[in-house]
Structure 1
Amino acid sequence: MIRVGIVGASGLAGGDLIRLVHQHPGLRLTFLGGESSAGRRPAELHPGLRVDLGLTVERADADRIAERCDVVLLATPAPVSARLAGELADRVACVIDLSGAFRIRGQELHERWYPKAERSAGLADRFVYGVPELVGDALKDAPLISVPGCYATAITLGLAPLVLGLGLHLRTVLVDGKSGSSGGGLQLRTADLHPLRNGAIAPYAPTGHRHAAEVGDFLERSKPGTVGSLTMSAYGVSHVRGLLASCYVFTDEELDLRELQRAYLRFYRPHPFVRVRRSDETLIPMPDPQATLGSNYCDVTVLHDPDGGRVVVLAALDNLIKGAAGQAVQALNMRFGLPEETGLTMQPVMPV
């Protein structure tokens, strides 16, 4: 059994990590870390976890963690992850970070979007950007893995068949993102109070989002295709889980819908957690985030708009599972040579 520690156990992603690790046949939960929640049991923090794990949350001491864990999952804010990853690197077999501390490789771009997450450039260069469908063998035996952001996962999976599969130059990509309140974590902000959030479509990042910078940074290093400019506007909507990334792609390439659909099906045929869907294949238009909730699936649809001269790519997922905890476990599976779907075969729950 692989011994697993989770730091940031009181957060939303931390709760889903506890649930997924607990039900995983090849993992054993041996450490729960946190600061403000130290001394509390998981069931106190996460009402859905009515199980006795034999653990209480402890302060995140690197010596204690290294002694009891083979792999550590950091569901902590970026500044905390930057510090803990430095303390734990080379002391455990693998550190998997769910924060933004190591997602952006370039130091200047990182400092723009994560100014409080101070890190050494040498340590950042050692992290594998952990979207399993796109980095493949790089995860095997990787000692340090950075899990992409929830929006970045959807956008990158949506664009990969165009950039990495067909090798296209995407002149301009405009992303419209909509996500539920869980994307902001458990921090108390006035704008997230129920009287203001319920029924709202709140443009909280209308002119830029750090996940777009993350995607651009990754795709710039991933050939054969290229992206000229990628910009994003993000909106908060009133549901809790799930997000939809609508990518409007402008390219000078001659494309048609059938060619695009074949390219997406071919690209994701080996990957069980990306479902390529037609927009009209179910009772509701696809992809819809509610058809992914509780699962590790990302649903992707590609459309061609010849009148507008654009390709439209829609990607939906559960931001706490495929966008966070589930993807982390998927990367963990691949890192330790387990089938990537181990412990992640749950189907979506719908309606919600």
Structure 2
Amino acid sequence: MIRAGVVGASGLAGGELIRLIVQHPELELTFLGGSSNIGRRPAELHPGLRRDLGLTVQPVTAEVAEQVDVLFLATPAPVSAELAELMADRVPAVIDLSGAFRIRTPDLHARWYPKVRRRTELADRFVYGVPELVADQLADAALISLPGCYATSMTLALAPLTMGLGLDLKTVVVDGKSGSSGGGLSLRTTDLHPLRNGAIAPYSPTGHRHAGEVRDFFERSKPGAVGSLSMSAYGVSHVRGLMTSSYVFTDEKTSQRDLHRAYVRFYRGKHFVRVRRHDETLIPVPDPQAVLGSNYCDVTVLYDEENSRIVVLAALDNLIKGAAGQAVQAANLRFSLPEETGLTMQPVMPA
């Protein structure tokens, strides 16, 4: 068995990690870490977890390295930066769910994460962990930085155009909508039910840090290029699930048929990306409610011939494919397991 530890066990992503690990046939949960809930059991923190795991939340020290083979950091970015420094070269694999190491370029990192201090040489060692795109790099990675939930959706939406077809995308404009769980458990006035329920809240209308990491990733990925990439993000009233709509402008000629075929070809054999036709089901897809509770990302590509515009829609569960599920998927690849191990659950609908 592969011994797994979760730091940030009291958060939403931490709770999902616990749930996925305890039902995983090859992972054994051996450590729970945190700072504000020392001594508490998982069932106290997450009402859905009633199984007695024989573990309580403990402080994180260097000795934790002796208890785990893989350590998941479901912690805020400043905390992850400190813990990665402590655990690097002590634990065989550290998988960070925060934004501490997502952006490789120092100036861009400083712009979007000004309070996160890290060593450049440590950041350079992290693999940006989109499993469908960098599986070969995950096979022996000691340090893995998972993309953000929006960034996962955007990257999977755009990769067939850049990394597959090698297109130069002159301008990309992204509209993102996410449920309240994307903000975690921090108490903010804007997240109170009387204000959040029924709302479409433009909380990042002129830019989002997840767009920064996507741009940073594609600048290091060939062929193809992304010129301008901008994003507006909105909070909507459901709890979990998100969708990105990427509007792509390019001077290169294409067609609806060629685009759909390119996406199917690019993701052939990729278990967790489902390329879908917009009108193939009773409701138009992608739709976040069609992936909730699963590790799937549904992607649809459309061509607006009149305006020479490519539209790519992508939907996922932000707590699973956008966080805990993708973390387990990366761990599977790191330890040479089939990537779908422990992640075969189907979506729950309606949810």
Taking structure 2 as the reference length, what is the TM-score of the superposition? 1.00
Q: How much has 1:116 moved relative to structure 2? A: 1.2
In structure 2, the residue matched to 1:62 is 62
Q: How much has 1:309 moved relative to structure 2? A: 1.7
Q: How much has 1:308 moved relative to structure 2? A: 1.9
In structure 2, the residue matched to 1:46 is 46
Please give the alpha-carbon distance, in whole angstroms, between the structure 2 residues aligned to 1:38 and 1:281. Answer: 49
Please give the alpha-carbon distance, in whole angstroms, between the structure 2 residues aligned to 1:320 and 1:113. Answer: 22
In structure 1, the residue matched to 2:204 is 205
In structure 1, the residue matched to 2:146 is 147
In structure 1, the residue matched to 2:2 is 2
In structure 1, the residue matched to 2:348 is 349
Please give the alpha-carbon distance, in whole angstroms, between the structure 2 residues aligned to 1:61 and 1:91. Answer: 11
In structure 2, the residue matched to 1:11 is 11
Residues 151, 211 of structure 1: 8 Å contact kept: yes
Q: How much has 1:306 moved relative to structure 2? A: 1.0
Residues 62, 84 of structure 1: 8 Å contact kept: no
Q: How much has 1:67 moved relative to structure 2? A: 1.3
Please give the alpha-carbon distance, in whole angstroms, between the structure 2 residues aligned to 1:332 and 1:27. Answer: 9
In structure 1, the residue matched to 2:302 is 303
Please give the alpha-carbon distance, in whole angstroms, between the structure 2 residues aligned to 1:196 and 1:328. Answer: 32
- What letter corresponds to residue 82 of structure 1 in structure 2? A
**Secondary structure at 1:307 match in 2:** helix
1:89-122 deviation per Cα after TM superposition (whole angstroms, max 9, x unaligned): 0001000000000000011110111111100000
Please give the alpha-carbon distance, in whole angstroms, between the structure 2 residues aligned to 1:273 and 1:292. Answer: 10
Please give the alpha-carbon distance, in whole angstroms, between the structure 2 residues aligned to 1:168 and 1:136. Answer: 22
- What letter corresponds to residue 270 of structure 1 in structure 2? G
- What letter corresponds to residue 80 of structure 1 in structure 2? V
Residues 293, 318 of structure 1: 8 Å contact kept: yes
Please give the alpha-carbon distance, in whole angstroms, between the structure 2 residues aligned to 1:162 and 1:309. Answer: 15
Please give the alpha-carbon distance, in whole angstroms, between the structure 1 residues aligned to 2:151 and 2:305. Answer: 27
Pairing of 1:15-164 with structure 2 (within 5 A)? 15-63=15-63, 65-164=64-163
Q: How much has 1:136 moved relative to structure 2? A: 1.8
Residues 9, 34 of structure 1: 8 Å contact kept: yes
- What letter corresponds to residue 246 of structure 2 in structure 1? C
Pairing of 1:167-178 with structure 2 (within 5 A)? 167-178=166-177
1:165-218 deviation per Cα after TM superposition (whole angstroms, max 9, x unaligned): 000000000000000000000000000000000000000000000000000000
Structure 2: tracts of 5 or more residues without a match? none
- What letter corresponds to residue 21 of structure 1 in structure 2? I
**Secondary structure at 1:301 match in 2:** strand
Please give the alpha-carbon distance, in whole angstroms, between the structure 2 residues aligned to 1:320 and 1:201. Answer: 20
1:213-263 deviation per Cα after TM superposition (whole angstroms, max 9, x unaligned): 000000000000000110000000000000000000000011100000000
Q: Stretches of 4+ moved more than 2 A in 1?
A: none
**Secondary structure at 1:346 match in 2:** coil
Please give the alpha-carbon distance, in whole angstroms, between the structure 2 residues aligned to 1:62 and 1:256. Answer: 55
1:302-322 deviation per Cα after TM superposition (whole angstroms, max 9, x unaligned): 000011220000000000000
Q: How much has 1:62 moved relative to structure 2? A: 2.3
**Secondary structure at 1:79 match in 2:** helix
Residues 174, 231 of structure 1: 8 Å contact kept: yes
Taking structure 1 as the reference length, what is the TM-score of the superposition? 0.99
How many residues matched?
Answer: 351
Pairing of 1:174-323 with structure 2 (within 5 A)? 174-323=173-322
- What letter corresponds to residue 39 of structure 2 in structure 1? G
| RMSD of equivalent CA atoms | 0.5
Please give the alpha-carbon distance, in whole angstroms, between the structure 2 residues aligned to 1:323 and 1:115. Answer: 23
**Secondary structure at 1:111 match in 2:** helix
Please give the alpha-carbon distance, in whole angstroms, between the structure 2 residues aligned to 1:328 and 1:3. Answer: 15
- What letter corresponds to residue 6 of structure 1 in structure 2? V
> Identity over aligned residues, as a percent?
76
Residues 33, 60 of structure 1: 8 Å contact kept: yes
- What letter corresponds to residue 210 of structure 1 in structure 2? R
Residues 277, 300 of structure 1: 8 Å contact kept: yes
- What letter corresponds to residue 54 of structure 2 in structure 1? G
**Secondary structure at 2:307 match in 1:** coil
- What letter corresponds to residue 50 of structure 2 in structure 1? R
